[in-house]
Every structure is written in structure tokens, then in C-alpha cells.
Amino acid sequence: MTRKVAQSNNHLITEPALEQAARWFVDLQESQQTSFPPCRSDFNRWLLIEENQRAWQQINQIHQQYQRHQTQLNHQSASVLYDTVNISRRDLLKSVAGLSFATWLGWEGYHSKQMRHQLASLTADLSSAVGQSKQIALANNGQLWLNTNSAINRLSTTNGHAFELVTGEVYLDDFVTSSANAMVNHSNSTRLQTLINGKLLLLTTEPSNGSVANNSGARCTMMLNEDRSQCHLALYQGRATLYYQGQKRQLVADQQLQLAPNNAGALNFSTAQITLLNTNEKPPWLNGQLHANDIPLAEFVQQLKRYRSGYIRLQAGLENIRVAGVYPAFDSDATLDLLAKALPIRIHYLTPWFVSITS
């Protein structure tokens, strides 16, 4: 059955039509810089089909709409690509063209609220690109890491640290060091907050013993899903207090909490079960790893999508293949290659930004 992925003027556009439109977009962009243009008559025949016209219109509209937002990102990507040895102009054009198309694939399915979240990340104080992480040094030996495609804002505070997670995932290591000869000047609390469905979720951390005198501190992660309707919190060291809509909950070291909408659409803040972490070590992505502990392929692909620019399509019927092992988080091509070697699947690259996983 052909998958329908987009809608234009109340008419559905199938995935094959979008793929074909993307191919033509790349070919025609390339033809402006080469003496070997694509066969125009073939393109004109393809364009006679009404659905293809809608797909072509969508590709061009989105390309124009996001040019002003993607200019800086395109220049950065082009710079990286040009610096790569022996890369062809065609691969460069495919990758740059893919920025607009892949962005649209991600944005088209969301409502205006999610679009505003994405725009907010573009203007955030600190951010990381897709497939990259970023480390930020804090006062008093503290550290903060942004996972792939994440953004935070610094918040004003009279003492300590305060951040707002705009999108993605953040790891906060507010470890405090002191000695007999030098006591650190440190607030006993650090604030980390975000918005869930437009409502404030606040997390405050403090050392395990409430003091900074014993080299203790708090380590935690906060992660939002793409539409900011769910939030995962994990505490690796210290204590944390969560506040949401007048309610309060406590976390201690080695505990985690998954917040998500209940059947009525309200966040399950008071009912979500606190569970133990599998390990008290740092999250695997801090070491550049993705861990899979006998999970469905569909679940693993969802994780991998966070680390890859573009679109990964999983063929129906492959969702429940089990995945186990350790994979490189920030090299998605290598991860896909390892999956193909370990599982009964094949990896097809339509373009560098459009990957299909089939049997």
C-alpha cells in the first residue's frame, strides 16, 4: 500500500511522488551548473500528472519559504561538505537541497505550535546541530552538555544556574568541588525548566547531603520529545524537586520519570511512576554511543532519527525486529551499516538525506 505523507490544497500527495519531485529538484538544480542537463521532455511528461504537479509545487514552495531560515545552516553545511576530500558537486547539491525538503518533511506534520517551538530553537542562547553535541562550562566546575538538535536559554538568576530547555536533551553536571584550603561560592540549588504543552515544568537540584563541603553535587538529564508533549527526567546524583501546576514531586539519585499525556490529554505528573535507572553512569550519548537492549527496530530508528538530518523510512513489517548492541550515535551512516550487517535488512540511499530500510 502506498504511503500518503503530505497534503496540499486538500489533496494527498504520496511518498513516491515526493521522492520523484525531490529527484527532479536535485537534477534541475544541478543542470544550472553543468553542461549535461536532464532530459526536459521527461520532466515535462512527469509533470503532466496532477499529483506530480502538487508534489513539485510543494517542493518549490517549501524551498522558497525556508531559504531565509536555512541560509546560515546551508552555508555551514556547504563549507563542511566542500572541505571533505573528493566530494562531488552532485552530492553537495543533494545535501543542500535536502535541508529544505527534509525540514519540510519534519514540519509539515506538525501544527503551528510545534513550528513556533522550532523557530524558538533558532534564536536560543545555546544550541547544537543535528548529529552533534555541545559542551558548555559552568561556574564552579559545573558542566552542561547539549545532545543532538537541542537548544537552551540562559535565565537570569541572582545566584547559581538557571536554564530553559527549548528543544532536545540536556545533561547537567553541577558537581561541586571544595577543599580545606578553598571553599567554593556556590548556590545550593540549580534550576532547569521547560514548557510541556505550554505549561511550566520546573526542576531544582541540590547536593545529596544539602551541603557543598563533601565534593557532592547533582547530575541529571531532561529530554523533550519532538512536539514537546512528553518529557523524560533522570537523576544520576543528588536530589531534585519537580514542580508542575501547583504539584510537587521528589527524585533521588538513580531514579527517572517519564511524563506524558494521559487519556484525557493532561500530563500525568502526579501519577507517573518513578523507576530506577539501569545504571548510575552518564547517558551513553555523552560517550558518543547509542545503546539498544533488545528493543524493536522501529524504536531504535526513532532514536537514530534524532541524530540524522533528513528522512529515514522503515518498510512495513520490519518494525518488530529486535536490536541489541552499542552503536555510534554521531555517525548515523556507520550505525546504518552495522544494522545491515547484523539484521536481515537492507539500506538504500535515495539521496544522502533520504534513506530507506527494506528487507
pLDDT surpassing 90 at residue 82 = no
Q: What percent of the chain has pLDDT over 90?
A: 40
| 251 vs 231: CA distance, rounded Å | 15
- The CATH number of the domain where 185 resides is what? 2.60.120.1440
pLDDT, residue 183, reads 35
Regarding whether 248 and 174 lie in a shared domain, the answer is: yes
Regarding whether 138 and 280 lie in a shared domain, the answer is: yes
**Residue of 299 and 214 predicted with greater confidence:** 299
From 46-50, 61-65, 127-131, 242-246, the region with the lowest mean pLDDT: 61-65
Cβ-in-10-Å burial (0-12, 13-18, 19+) of 185 comes to: exposed
Regarding whether 297 and 280 lie in a shared domain, the answer is: no
pLDDT in tens, 124-169: 899 998 899 999 998 777 889 999 999 999 987 776 788 999 999 9
What's the chain's average pLDDT?
76
Structural domain total, the chain: 3
| 131 vs 353: CA distance, rounded Å | 13
Tell me the mean pLDDT in the region 325-339.
96
Which of 109, 126, 151 finishes a domain? 109
pLDDT, residue 163, reads 93
Regarding whether 351 and 332 lie in a shared domain, the answer is: yes
Cβ-in-10-Å burial (0-12, 13-18, 19+) of 174 comes to: buried
- Is 128 contained in some domain? no
pLDDT surpassing 50 at residue 108 = no
Regarding whether 300 and 246 lie in a shared domain, the answer is: no
pLDDT surpassing 80 at residue 332 = yes
- Is 124 contained in some domain? no
pLDDT surpassing 70 at residue 70 = no
pLDDT, residue 258, reads 95
From 65-69, 181-185, 255-259, 344-348, the region with the lowest mean pLDDT: 181-185
Regarding whether 351 and 334 lie in a shared domain, the answer is: yes
pLDDT in tens, 217-242: 688 999 998 878 899 999 998 888 99
- Is 123 contained in some domain? no
Q: What percent of the chain has pLDDT over 70?
A: 67
- Is 164 contained in some domain? yes
pLDDT, residue 165, reads 94
pLDDT, residue 67, reads 53
- Is 254 contained in some domain? yes
Regarding whether 150 and 264 lie in a shared domain, the answer is: yes
pLDDT, residue 190, reads 81
pLDDT surpassing 50 at residue 26 = yes
Give the confidence band of 189 by pLDDT, cuts at 50, 70, 90: low
pLDDT, residue 16, reads 79
pLDDT surpassing 80 at residue 101 = no
Read off the amino acid at residue 143. Q
Regarding whether 304 and 165 lie in a shared domain, the answer is: no
pLDDT, residue 313, reads 84
From 105-114, 253-262, 266-275, 312-321, the region with the lowest mean pLDDT: 105-114
- The CATH number of the domain where 308 resides is what? 3.55.50.30
Which of 284, 302, 318 finishes a domain? 284
Regarding whether 138 and 45 lie in a shared domain, the answer is: no
Give the confidence band of 207 by pLDDT, cuts at 50, 70, 90: low
- Is 44 contained in some domain? yes
From 81-90, 158-167, 279-288, 301-310, the region with the lowest mean pLDDT: 81-90
Regarding whether 353 and 243 lie in a shared domain, the answer is: no
Regarding whether 195 and 147 lie in a shared domain, the answer is: yes
Regarding whether 252 and 292 lie in a shared domain, the answer is: no
- Is 310 contained in some domain? yes
pLDDT, residue 30, reads 60
**What cell was used for 212?**
557543598
Which of 94, 109, 124 finishes a domain? 109
**First-to-last C-alpha distance (Å) of the chain:** 16
Give the confidence band of 176 by pLDDT, cuts at 50, 70, 90: low
Percent of the chain as helix, strand, coil, to the nearest 5: 35, 35, 35
**Residue of 62 and 292 predicted with greater confidence:** 292
Give the confidence band of 178 by pLDDT, cuts at 50, 70, 90: very low
Give the confidence band of 290 by pLDDT, cuts at 50, 70, 90: very high
**Residue of 230 and 11 predicted with greater confidence:** 230
DSSP single-letter state for residue 287: G
> What are the helix (H) ranges across the chain?
15-31, 40-47, 50-83, 89-108, 112-122, 297-305, 332-342
Domain interval for residue 313: 288-358
- Is 115 contained in some domain? no
